[in-house]
Chains A and B, each alone.
Chain A
Amino acid sequence: DTAVSQTPKYLVTQMGNDKSIKCEQNLGHDTMYWYKQDSKKFLKIMFSYNNKELIINETVPNRFSPKSPDKAHLNLHINSLELGDSAVYFCASTDRVNSPLHFGNGTRLTVT
């Protein structure tokens, strides 16, 4: 199946822990993103990578570190998790700037 897949789907952890979310796309796209969807349902961009190079880094705490080992993968590592990090995180990819984004099905992170 061609798609954007992210794991895990659910992640429950305690404050202060470090966790990672993985994302892979087999669509051959050059650009990948991480978005955060908060409780009010707004999707906000966190990071964008083009061909393994960081091109967008919104005002995200440096506890969040994206890593792109190759252009098909963009993982998100979060250090020292806080309650406010609880949200749904979506990975997405696209082949051109004005083309549709293809989203994964999200990772629901709950920090207790």
Chain B
Amino acid sequence: KNQVEQSPQSLIILEGKNCTLQCNYTVSPFSNLRWYKQDTGRGPVSLTIMTFSENTKSNGRYTATLDADTKQSSLHITASQLSDSASYICVVSAREYGNKLVFGAGTILRVKS
């Protein structure tokens, strides 16, 4: 079983709607948790990085939350746009492995007009 599990696997929403993507992890102890956006045919781009002491961080219409006790994170996208269509990848940094990054498989989001 992967140490970083994301759900749902894929999601289709209408433009303008909000959505929330989930990430559960078992990596412990962890250093930080990151969310990346990967457009088709491109490399991942960083959205947020949170340490264990932070429980929320925003980047424009993207807001990430972290509950280090339950080892869960979510990425909330507000007022979705067509350009939000992408794969969203949750990444956990494992402190005991020299801050090795463990990637989730991503949630594929498609925003329809």
A-B contact number at CB 8 A: 47
Contacting pair A43 B44 (CB below 8 A): yes
- Chain B contact-residue range equals 20 to 34
Q: Which residue of B lies closest to A58 (CB)?
A: B100
Kindly provide the distance from the CB of A88 to the nearest chain B CB, expressed in whole angstroms: 9
CB distance A106 to B100 under 8 Å? Answer: no
Taking residues whose C-beta sits less than 8 angstroms from the other chain, chain A's interface range is: 20 to 34
- Is residue A47 contacting chain B, with contact meaning CB distance below 8 A? no
Q: In the complex, A42→B5 CA distance in Å?
A: 11
Interface centre among B98, B100, B101, B103 (most CB of A within 10 A): B101
Beyond A43-B89, A98-B31, whether A103 also contacts B49 by CB under 8 A is: no
Q: By DSSP majority rule, is chain B's interface helix, strand, loop, or mixed?
A: strand
Give the distance in Å from the alpha carbon of A103 to the alpha carbon of B91 in the complex: 14
List of B residues within 8 angstroms of A42 by Cβ: 2, 103-105
What is the distance, in angstroms, from A92's C-beta to the closest C-beta of chain B? 7
What are the nearest 4 A-B pairs in CB distance?
A103-B43, A100-B46, A43-B103, A97-B99
The reply on A111 being an interface residue by CB < 8 A is no
Whether B103 pairs with A44 at a CB distance below 8 angstroms is: yes
Contact B46 A101 (CB under 8 A): yes
Q: Once the chains bind, are B105 and A56 in contact (CB under 8 Å)?
A: no
